């Protein structure tokens, strides 16, 4: 089961955060947002199909985020959690920890923004279009 989010990069994309990775519907990014890889996302967790959200709430679910921009690709894998709300209307966050709030899309991620392919991050810093595919199994 997949959800596809389209966003774009920004000159302030740094991809340096050590424990989170974020996409936001906001149309701006400050240098402080070192976990944010994409802005102007066309969807947020509140827009996900109910069946997808329910599948993500299974503690045994594997959730994968595939990021693609300008010919570069990276994959981040984590797991579902029973407390995922998936109700935020503004941003989505993948976390290497087990912390959950309304923005969390999965926990125990094997990568954070700082671990994402540097060529992909550079393309996003140049403003490349981003396709983010979330898959739950």
Q: How confident is the model at residue 30 (pLDDT cuts 50, 70, 90)?
A: very high
Instruction: Please state, in angstroms and as integers, the Cα–Cα distance from residue 45 to each residue in 42, 58, 65, 101, 107, following that order.
Output: 11, 16, 13, 11, 14
Average pLDDT, integer, range 102-128 = 98
Q: How confident is the model at residue 79 (pLDDT cuts 50, 70, 90)?
A: very high
Q: Cα torsion for 119, 122, 124, 126, to the nearest 10°?
A: -130
Average pLDDT, integer, range 8-31 = 97
Buried b or exposed e, range 23-42, using 16+ CB within 10 angstroms: bbbeeebeeebbbbbbbbbe
pLDDT above 90: percentage of residues in the chain? 100
Is the whole model's pTM more than 0.95, yes or no? yes
Q: For residue 58, what pLDDT is reported? A: 98
Average pLDDT, integer, range 54-70 = 98
Q: For residue 48, what pLDDT is reported? A: 98
Round to the nearest angstrom and report the end-to-end CA distance of the chain.
7
Q: How confident is the model at residue 56 (pLDDT cuts 50, 70, 90)?
A: very high
Per CATH, which fold does 2-136 belong to?
Answer: Jelly Rolls (2.60.120)
């Amino acid at each position: 089961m997949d959800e596809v989010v389209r966003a774009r990069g920004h000159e302030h994309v740094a991809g340096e955060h050590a424990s989170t990775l974020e996409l936001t519907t906001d149309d701006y990014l400050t240098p402080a947002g070192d976990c944010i890889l994409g802005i102007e996302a066309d969807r947020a967790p509140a827009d996900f199909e109910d069946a997808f959200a329910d599948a993500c709430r299974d503690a045994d679910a594997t959730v994968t985020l595939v990021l693609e921009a300008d010919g570069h690709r990276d994959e981040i894998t984590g797991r579902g959690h029973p407390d995922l709300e998936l109700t935020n209307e503004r941003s989505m966050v993948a976390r290497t920890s087990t912390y959950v709030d309304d923005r969390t899309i999965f926990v125990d991620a094997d990568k954070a923004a700082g671990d994402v392919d540097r060529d992909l991050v550079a393309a996003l810093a140049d403003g490349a279009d981003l396709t983010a595919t979330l898959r739950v199994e």
